[in-house]
Protein backbone atom coordinates (compact mmCIF):
# COMPACT_ATOMS: atom_id res chain seq x y z
CA UNK A 1 0.00 0.00 0.00
CA UNK A 2 1.49 3.37 -0.99
CA UNK A 3 1.77 6.11 1.55
CA UNK A 4 0.45 9.54 0.54
CA UNK A 5 3.29 12.06 0.33
CA UNK A 6 2.92 15.06 2.62
CA UNK A 7 2.76 18.37 0.76
CA UNK A 8 5.65 20.60 1.76
CA UNK A 9 4.74 24.15 2.69
CA UNK A 10 6.79 27.19 3.60
CA UNK A 11 5.21 27.07 7.06
CA UNK A 12 6.18 23.46 7.73
CA UNK A 13 9.75 23.92 6.46
CA UNK A 14 10.27 27.03 8.62
CA UNK A 15 8.80 25.34 11.67
CA UNK A 16 10.78 22.12 11.21
CA UNK A 17 14.03 24.02 10.62
CA UNK A 18 13.50 26.16 13.71
CA UNK A 19 12.64 23.14 15.86
CA UNK A 20 15.80 21.31 14.80
CA UNK A 21 18.02 24.37 15.33
CA UNK A 22 16.47 25.18 18.71
CA UNK A 23 16.86 21.55 19.85
CA UNK A 24 20.53 21.73 18.85
CA UNK A 25 21.00 24.97 20.82
CA UNK A 26 19.10 23.52 23.78
CA UNK A 27 21.35 20.43 23.81
CA UNK A 28 24.37 22.76 23.87
CA UNK A 29 22.81 24.89 26.64
CA UNK A 30 22.15 21.82 28.79
CA UNK A 31 25.88 21.01 28.69
CA UNK A 32 26.42 24.46 30.25
CA UNK A 33 23.65 23.96 32.86
CA UNK A 34 21.10 26.20 31.14
CA UNK A 35 18.43 26.24 28.48
CA UNK A 36 18.16 27.74 25.04
CA UNK A 37 15.51 30.17 26.38
CA UNK A 38 17.92 31.35 29.09
CA UNK A 39 20.73 31.87 26.59
CA UNK A 40 18.37 33.68 24.22
CA UNK A 41 17.33 35.95 27.08
CA UNK A 42 20.96 36.73 28.02
CA UNK A 43 21.75 37.56 24.39
CA UNK A 44 19.01 40.20 24.46
CA UNK A 45 20.25 42.01 27.58
CA UNK A 46 22.51 45.00 26.96
CA UNK A 47 25.85 44.01 28.50
CA UNK A 48 26.71 47.52 29.71
CA UNK A 49 23.44 49.29 30.51
CA UNK A 50 21.13 46.38 31.15
CA UNK A 51 17.65 46.18 29.62
CA UNK A 52 14.07 46.45 30.77
CA UNK A 53 12.23 43.13 30.91
CA UNK A 54 9.35 44.76 29.04
CA UNK A 55 11.72 45.51 26.13
CA UNK A 56 13.14 41.98 26.05
CA UNK A 57 9.79 40.15 26.00
CA UNK A 58 8.76 41.17 22.44
CA UNK A 59 12.21 40.27 21.10
CA UNK A 60 11.79 36.76 22.49
CA UNK A 61 8.11 36.44 21.54
CA UNK A 62 7.36 35.15 25.03
CA UNK A 63 4.41 35.33 27.36
CA UNK A 64 5.02 37.18 30.62
CA UNK A 65 4.68 34.00 32.73
CA UNK A 66 7.40 32.21 30.75
CA UNK A 67 9.56 35.32 30.89
CA UNK A 68 9.10 35.52 34.69
CA UNK A 69 10.20 31.90 35.09
CA UNK A 70 13.33 32.53 33.03
CA UNK A 71 14.15 35.68 35.01
CA UNK A 72 13.76 33.80 38.31
CA UNK A 73 15.97 30.95 37.04
CA UNK A 74 18.65 33.37 35.83
CA UNK A 75 18.54 35.19 39.16
CA UNK A 76 18.89 31.91 41.07
CA UNK A 77 21.93 31.06 38.94
CA UNK A 78 23.32 34.54 39.73
CA UNK A 79 23.50 35.46 36.04
CA UNK A 80 21.31 38.57 36.33
CA UNK A 81 20.07 40.98 38.93
CA UNK A 82 16.86 42.98 38.91
CA UNK A 83 17.13 46.70 39.58
CA UNK A 84 13.91 48.65 40.19
CA UNK A 85 13.60 51.81 38.09
CA UNK A 86 14.15 54.92 40.23
CA UNK A 87 11.39 56.91 38.53
CA UNK A 88 8.85 54.21 37.65
CA UNK A 89 8.68 51.49 40.31
CA UNK A 90 6.60 49.30 37.94
CA UNK A 91 9.62 48.89 35.67
CA UNK A 92 12.58 46.63 36.39
CA UNK A 93 15.92 46.80 34.69
CA UNK A 94 17.75 43.52 34.17
CA UNK A 95 21.52 43.75 34.50
CA UNK A 96 24.00 41.00 33.78
CA UNK A 97 26.28 39.95 36.62
CA UNK A 98 29.94 39.17 35.87
CA UNK A 99 28.93 35.50 35.63
CA UNK A 100 26.02 36.47 33.34
CA UNK A 101 28.37 38.36 31.01
CA UNK A 102 30.57 35.25 30.74
CA UNK A 103 27.53 33.09 29.93
CA UNK A 104 26.34 35.65 27.35
CA UNK A 105 29.75 35.54 25.64
CA UNK A 106 29.60 31.74 25.65
CA UNK A 107 26.14 31.85 24.03
CA UNK A 108 27.38 34.37 21.44
CA UNK A 109 30.30 32.12 20.56
CA UNK A 110 28.05 29.08 20.19
CA UNK A 111 25.78 31.03 17.81
CA UNK A 112 28.77 32.41 15.87
CA UNK A 113 30.32 28.94 15.57
CA UNK A 114 27.11 27.44 14.20
CA UNK A 115 26.68 30.34 11.78
CA UNK A 116 30.29 29.89 10.64
CA UNK A 117 29.71 26.16 10.13
CA UNK A 118 26.62 26.90 8.02
CA UNK A 119 28.57 29.46 5.98
CA UNK A 120 31.41 26.98 5.35
CA UNK A 121 29.03 24.16 4.36
CA UNK A 122 26.47 26.18 2.39
CA UNK A 123 28.34 29.26 1.23
CA UNK A 124 27.92 32.98 1.78
CA UNK A 125 25.93 33.55 -1.43
CA UNK A 126 23.27 30.96 -0.55
CA UNK A 127 23.00 32.38 2.98
CA UNK A 128 22.51 35.89 1.57
CA UNK A 129 19.80 34.52 -0.76
CA UNK A 130 18.21 32.72 2.20
CA UNK A 131 18.16 35.93 4.28
CA UNK A 132 16.58 37.85 1.40
CA UNK A 133 13.97 35.12 0.95
CA UNK A 134 13.16 35.09 4.66
CA UNK A 135 12.89 38.90 4.68
CA UNK A 136 10.48 38.70 1.72
CA UNK A 137 8.37 36.03 3.45
CA UNK A 138 8.22 38.12 6.64
CA UNK A 139 7.21 41.22 4.66
CA UNK A 140 4.46 39.28 2.85
CA UNK A 141 3.16 37.80 6.10
CA UNK A 142 3.15 41.24 7.78
CA UNK A 143 1.36 42.75 4.78
CA UNK A 144 -1.24 40.00 4.80
CA UNK A 145 -1.68 40.35 8.56
CA UNK A 146 -2.39 44.08 8.15
CA UNK A 147 -5.00 43.33 5.48
CA UNK A 148 -6.70 40.75 7.71
CA UNK A 149 -6.83 43.19 10.64
CA UNK A 150 -8.27 46.07 8.60
pLDDT > 80? residue 41: yes
Cβ pair 136, 78 in contact under 8 A = no
- List, for residues 89-98, the tens digit of each pLDDT value: 888 899 999 9
pLDDT > 60? residue 66: yes
Cβ pair 103, 79 in contact under 8 A = yes
Instruction: Give the pLDDT score at 128.
Output: 97
| 80-84 and 51-52 beta bridge pairing | unpaired
pLDDT > 80? residue 142: yes
3: pLDDT confidence band, cut at 50, 70 and 90?
low
Q: Distance of CA 124 to CAs 14, 18, 41, 129, Å?
A: 20, 20, 28, 9
Instruction: Give the pLDDT score at 53.
Output: 86
The predicted model scores a pTM of: 0.83
- List, for residues 72-89, the tens digit of each pLDDT value: 999 999 999 999 988 888
The residue among 90, 88, 92, 58 whose CA lies nearest residue 75 is 92
The residue among 74, 75, 53, 73 whose CA lies nearest residue 64 is 53
Cβ pair 96, 84 in contact under 8 A = no
Domains of the chain plus CATH, in order, are 11-149 (1.10.10.10)
How many Å apart are CA 123 and CA 145, to the nearest integer?
33
106: pLDDT confidence band, cut at 50, 70 and 90?
very high
The residue among 131, 137, 108 whose CA lies nearest residue 119 is 131
The pLDDT > 70 percentage for the chain reads 97
Instruction: Give the pLDDT score at 133.
Output: 97
pLDDT > 90? residue 46: yes
The residue among 135, 101, 109 whose CA lies nearest residue 25 is 109
Amino acid sequence: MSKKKHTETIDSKLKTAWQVVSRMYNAEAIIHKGTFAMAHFLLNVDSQEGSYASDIAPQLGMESTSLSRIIVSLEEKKLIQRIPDKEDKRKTKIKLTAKGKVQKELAKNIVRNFNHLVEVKIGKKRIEEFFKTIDDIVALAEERSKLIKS
